[in-house]
Chains A and B, each alone.
Chain A
C-alpha cells in the first residue's frame, strides 16, 4: 500500500469514526441516566435523513434551512419517543423497557416503509460538501474535513454544557443517583427529556452527515449504524462521553483500515464490529474508559 492510499484510508477512517462518535454519544448519555439501550436511537438517523431529503426535494429549500428543520423535528421525535414509550415504564423491569425500545425501533422502520416506501432514494449532497480536493495525489472530498470538524465543535460544546451549566450538573446528578437527585429537587423527567433531546439532535446531525457520506436512503438505514454506534459506546465505556468518542474513533478507523489492508475480509466488515464488541465485553466489560460499577446485592 502506498502512502497516498494509506492517507486516503486514514482520512476516511477519521470521518467515519467521528460519525460513530457523534451518534454514540446519544446512546451513552441515555444509558448513563436510564440504564437503557435506546434501540430507537439508530432510527433517528433515518428520520433526520428523510426529512432533510424531502424538505430539499419537495419544498426545494436551501440545504441549511432543511438541515435545521431536520434536526429540530428529529429532536422532537426523540423526546416524544421517550415520553410515550419509556416514561410509562419507569418502574417496570428493565427487560420490559428494552423490549419497548426494540418495539419503537421496529415501529419507526415500518412507518418509514409506509411513508417513504422501501425504494432507496438518492440524497442530494450540497456542493459545499461534495467538492473534491487533491492534496499531493490524495483525493479528499470536503465532507471528509467537515465531519470531524463539526464533531469536535459539537463535542466541546457538549462537554461545556455538561460541566459548566446548571442543567449539565443536574444531568450528572441524575446519572449518578436517580432517586437521590429527585429528592434534591431536580425535575428528573425534564432532565431525561433534555438528555433525549440532545442525544437525538446529535444523532440527527450525524444522520445527515451519514447520508451525505453514503447517499442512499432506505427506511432501515439506521439499523446497522445504530448498532455499531452502540458498540462504539460500549467499547469506550458506556455512560462516559469521552469514552463514546474514543470508541467511535477506534471502531471507525479499525473498520476502514481492516478493509484496506485485508480486502478479502471486506464481506465480514459488519461482523467485525460485533466480534470486537464481544471481545471487549469478555475481557473488560466496562469498556476502555468505563469505571467499575459495584453491583448491589
Chain B
C-alpha cells in the first residue's frame, strides 16, 4: 500500500513536471490540443466506470456533458454577455443576473449532470444490454432536443457564444490557468476512479459486470450500485462538459449529438473496457491523432482536398481494433511497474530463446 502511494505521488509529480515544461514550450494551438486531451481523459474515464467496470452499455454520455456545459455557461456568464447572446428572446429573469466564479460553476455543472444521471438511471438501469443502450441513447437525444427548444434558457439552436475562460488558478493569476484547471481535474478524476474501483464498492461493480445473478446472490444490491455508478459517471461527464464549454468558448446543441458519445466510446474501447490507464493513454493518443490526421482532409501526396477523410480513416481504425483486437490496448488490466518490467524482460528474452 505504501509503495502504491509513493508511486502515485511520483506519477503525479511527473505529470506536473511535464505540464510545466509543455505549457512553457507549446504554442497556443498545441496547448489547446493538450487541454482537449485532458477533457477527453475525463470523459473516457467516467464513461469507463459505467460501461467498462459495471458492464452496462450506457450511451447517454453526450447528454450529461451537455448538462454540465450549459450549466457552467449559464452560471459563469455575466449579464452583459447574456443580453448579447439572447437577442432573439430574452433569458428567463432568474438566470439573467447570476454570475458565478469558475470553480463553483464547474462543480455545479457536475452536480446537475449527476442529478440528470440519477433521474435517468433510476428508471432505465432496470433494463439490460441493448435495451439499456438504446434507452440511454434516447435520453441523450431527449436532453439535446429539450436544449434546442428551450429558447429562453439555453438560447436554443443559436447556441451560446463568448464563454469566458478562467484567468487565475487557485487565486493566482497566470497565463495558462485553464490548462492547470483541466489537468488538476484530470488528476483528481483519475485518482478518484482508481480508488473507487479498488474499493469494495468497485469490486461489487466488477462482480455485476462478470455475473449479475451471482453478484446478487453474494448480497450486492445490484440496482443501487448501478445507479450510483451512473451518477458518478455523469457527475464527471458534467465536469468535463463544463471544461469543454470553457475551452470551446461557444456551445450549441449540435455539439452534443450521438457522435460525441460515439467518439468517447471509441476511446474507451481502444483503451480497453475496464482499464483506467488504458482510457487515459487512449484518450491522449486519440485526441492527438485526430489533430494530426487533419492532413488527410487538407490533401496530401498530390491528392486533392477531401473533407471527412480523417473520420473515415478513424472509423476504419476502430472497426479493425474491434474485429482483430477486441480487448483494446489494456484489456481490463491496469498499467503497473511489474507489467512494464515484465514486458521489457520479454523483449530481452526473445532473441535468446530463438537461439536455443
Contacts and interface: CB of A to CB of B under 8 A. Distances in A.
B148 interface: yes
Given A96-B322, A285-B131, A107 B124 contact: no
Given A99-B322, A282-B123, A110 B130 contact: no
Given A95-B57, A110-B312, A234-B134, A268 B319 contact: no
A201 to B, nearest CB: 24
Given A118-B307, A271-B142, A278 B316 contact: no
B306 A114 contact: yes
B323 A88 contact: yes
Contacts of A98: 57, 130, 133
Contact of B137 (A95, A114, A227, A271): A227
B222 interface: no
A277 interface: yes
B104 interface: no
Interface residues of B, number: 43
B59 to A, nearest CB: 8
B131 A230 contact: no
A85 B319 contact: yes
B146 A271 contact: yes
B181 to A, nearest CB: 31
A85 B323 CA distance: 7
- Interface SS majority for chain B: helix
B315 interface: yes
A271 B318 contact: no
Interface in A81-118: 85, 88-89, 92, 94-96, 98-100, 102-104, 106-107, 110-111, 113-114, 117-118
Contact of B318 (A103, A227, A274): A103
Contacts of A99: 265, 269, 322
B70 interface: no
Interface string B136-151: 0111011001101100
A294 interface: no
Given A85-B319, A88-B323, A99-B269, A113 B308 contact: yes
14 contacts: A37-B134, A85-B323, A100-B319, A103-B322, A106-B315, A107-B315, A110-B308, A114-B307, A118-B307, A274-B139, A274-B142, A277-B135, A278-B124, A281-B127
